[in-house]
Chains A and B, each alone.
Chain A
Amino acid sequence: MSTAALDVEGAVERALERHRTRPGALLPLLHDVQHELGFIPPESVDAIARGLNLSRAEVHGVITYYTHFRQHAPAAHAVQLCQAEACQSMGAEALAAHAQSRLGCAMNSATDDGRFSLEPVYCLGLCASSPSMMIGERVYARVTPQRFDQLIGALEPGKAR
């Protein structure tokens, strides 16, 4: 998806409409923009800053500080594997190695077709059912390499969801 096809201006305007008068509006506003566009395009910073009476540096600083906010269009399916202690005790590292070879991309990168991205995450609160992961906003626990393959397989082109 190219940025040109996105209604960046409209997305920012709608988010400002909802949040402009709230105290501490920046994070809720950025969440809304990202929710609508999939990421926060750099060209939106100026309008956000003006709308909230902040400097561009303040807005840029917040976007880049928080790992949840993306500055680039995301993959169709963001896969996040928990790599924190509880999941490590249940083989999270081996699962990460499996995931990288299954998807053919390294941690913190995306597949060539832009279908999947792979990132570590530090805790999904499913520590009694480790290892866990998230695809988009859905969480999965007790993830074995086989279950990982099934879940990914169902999201590949030509497969019914």
Chain B
Amino acid sequence: MSAVATVYVPRDSSARAVGADEVADAIAAEAKRRGLPLRIVRNGSRGLAWLEPLVECAAASGRIGFGPVQPQDVAALFDAGFPDPAALHPLSIGPVEQLPYLKSQQRLTFARIGLTDPVSVEDYVGHEGFAGLRRALQMQPEAIVNEVTASGLRGRGGAAFPTGIKWQTAMRAAATPKYVVCNADEGDSGSFADRLVMESDPLVLIEGMTIAGLAVGAEMGYIYVRSEYPDSVHTLEEAMQAARAAGYLGDNILASGRRFDLEVRVGAGSYVCGEETAMLESLEGRRGIVRAKPPLPAINGLFGQPTAINNVVTLASVPIILARGASFYKDFGVGRSRGTLTVQLAGNVRHGGLIEVAFGVTLRQVLDNWGGGTASGRAVRAIQVGGPLGTYVPPSHWDIPLDYEAYAKFGGVVGHGSVVVHDDTVNLAKMARFAMHFCALESCGKCTPCRIGAVRGEEVIDKIIAGQDTERQITLLRDLCDTMVSGSLCAMGGMTPFPVLSALNHYPEDFQKGSDHASRRNPQKPAAVA
């Protein structure tokens, strides 16, 4: 062991939100008190949320972990020998990379998270960083686009549109200037993969956007980050400065004579701005009102110019495709879903976190191999896949592979891969009502099916729950959902019916009057044991 021990304490907000800053301070203070020289690196998060704050010590064999550590544990950790990686303490979890949760994943896009200091270019380059950009700088734009097309990469933000096709359209557009826009308005409950990229490995996003710029012929990129993610904004800004200083962004990227730079723009609490055209409106300084398509943003996008708009995870997947080649990436996955899916396991689950695996894994495998049961210890009753606009998936569908087409076949959506677990206290009529309520709150108001439909939907579900003319109201609700699906301008109104109808179809008992799962099964008021 070297003279100065290195200790890692994550700076990601999922770690800070449970006390990582206080733990880092306590470790520094305790080391000082004991006269031990110590280097603390604020790394990214591994995405193992239940172990945060996950403190790691560098050892010859890899990293040794302790978690979840609270400030009051720190003195006892030192008593047990910390920061010597051989320290034994009840919070020891051993070699972090040997944890089955991590070892069983295929981390490509997220290969570096938790390993590196997110804002250190040196660290990034030491872990295969900028290899993709270096290769792209030697290639013609068509060749870059072809490589991305051949990899089979599809939009990871939810819509799953082939990224290469989108880039090709923007590349072929004649007008200049062109733009690259990163949609980092990750508003969907259950999803946090974009946030993890921005806070734990922001340089991979910067590299991906720069490659996109080279491919489509853009010299400027915008990252539209939601205001609910202040940590992401700060980490991105820091990483961009570091990249600029090291010559990876700016007027002359790696002395190639090529120019590309980035700007972070902060949203202001509007969910619908995650829709690409509403986001463009917002970037242009207006209310986030959805635009009708066509024109496609790839041809007529930001400030009326050709614009490649991609989600964070999509852009962050590009560097490894360029570095290792399209076929390497394409070899993962099933059917037309190539590469890896970033399952974001969330909600009522013991071991929530980021699970990057090849497409084709099933929900049951996710629950059994990673989830570790519900946090409440009760049975799982429903799982919402793909965010607030995704369906509630009942147990009968848990063996269907997570694959865009297989999910579409039963009316589900893989989306960005968020998996929100609900235990058996959930009331699906209430969740359906919430879906309509949320749509009413967040609708931009441009199209009638969404603006009015969501309000009416909430009212109709209230009547159903109250048992007023239930059969007719259910017919009305289905009719309303049909109108919203077919008549809305964007996914907000067009997909809000997905959770509503899946709740109604798979959990009809919750829509019967007097059926209150919440009170019948409330853990605080258990029903008498039969």
Contact = CB atoms under 8 A, between A and B. Distances in A.
- Does B bind A? yes
A158 interface: no
A148 B81 CA distance: 33
A27 B266 CA distance: 8
Interface stretch (B129-137, B226-234, B447-455): B226-234
Given A66-B270, A122-B271, A127-B352, A86 B347 contact: yes
A43 to B, nearest CB: 20
A87 interface: yes
Given A85-B190, A125-B192, A128-B352, A67 B344 contact: no
A146 to B, nearest CB: 14
A68 B190 contact: no
Contact of A68 (B191, B268, B352): B268
B502 interface: no
Given A26-B286, A90-B375, A127 B434 contact: no
B431 A85 contact: yes
Contacts of A28: 265-266
Interface of B: 13-14, 16-18, 49-50, 52, 186-192, 194-195, 227-231, 265-271, 282-288, 303, 344-349, 352-354, 375, 384, 388, 418, 420-423, 426, 431, 434, 438, 441-442
Given A85-B189, A90-B348, A125-B186, A68 B286 contact: no
A127 B375 contact: no
A85 B386 CA distance: 12
Given A84-B190, A88-B431, A128-B192, 4 more contacts: A28-B266, A90-B347, A122-B442, A137-B230
Nearest to B352: A128
Contacts of A129: 14, 17-18, 49-50, 52, 352
4 closest Cβ pairs, A-B complex: A128-B352, A84-B189, A26-B285, A66-B268
B17 A141 contact: yes
Contacts of A84: 189-190, 388, 438
B270 A85 contact: no
Contacts of A121: 228, 269
Contacts of B191: 123, 125, 127
Most buried by A among B271, B420, B426: B420
Nearest to B195: A125
Contacts of A123: 186-189, 191, 228
B270 A127 contact: no
Interface in A108-148: 121-130, 132, 134, 137-142
A52 B285 CA distance: 10
Contacts of B354: 128
Contact of B353 (A58, A85, A128, A142): A128
A68 B388 contact: no
B17 A139 contact: yes
A84 B441 CA distance: 12
Most buried by B among A28, A52, A66, A140: A66
A58 B268 CA distance: 16
A138 B49 CA distance: 18
B434 A65 contact: no
A30 B287 CA distance: 13
A25 B288 CA distance: 14
Nearest to B349: A128
B347 A132 contact: no
Contact of A31 (B186, B268, B346, B431): B268
Contact of A126 (B13, B384, B441): B13
B346 A130 contact: yes
Contact of A24 (B188, B283, B345): B283
Contacts of B420: 85-86, 89, 127
A59 to B, nearest CB: 9
B49 A85 contact: no
Interface string A89-115: 110000000000000000000000000
Given A62-B286, A66-B288, A139-B17, A128 B268 contact: no
B13 A139 contact: yes
A68 B422 CA distance: 29
B13 A86 contact: no
A122 B438 contact: yes
Nearest to B422: A89
A39 interface: no
A66 B434 CA distance: 21
A23 interface: yes
Contact of B348 (A23, A62, A89): A89
B344 A127 contact: yes
A150 to B, nearest CB: 12
B189 A68 contact: no
11 contacts: A31-B268, A68-B227, A69-B268, A84-B190, A85-B420, A85-B431, A125-B13, A134-B228, A138-B16, A141-B17, A142-B18
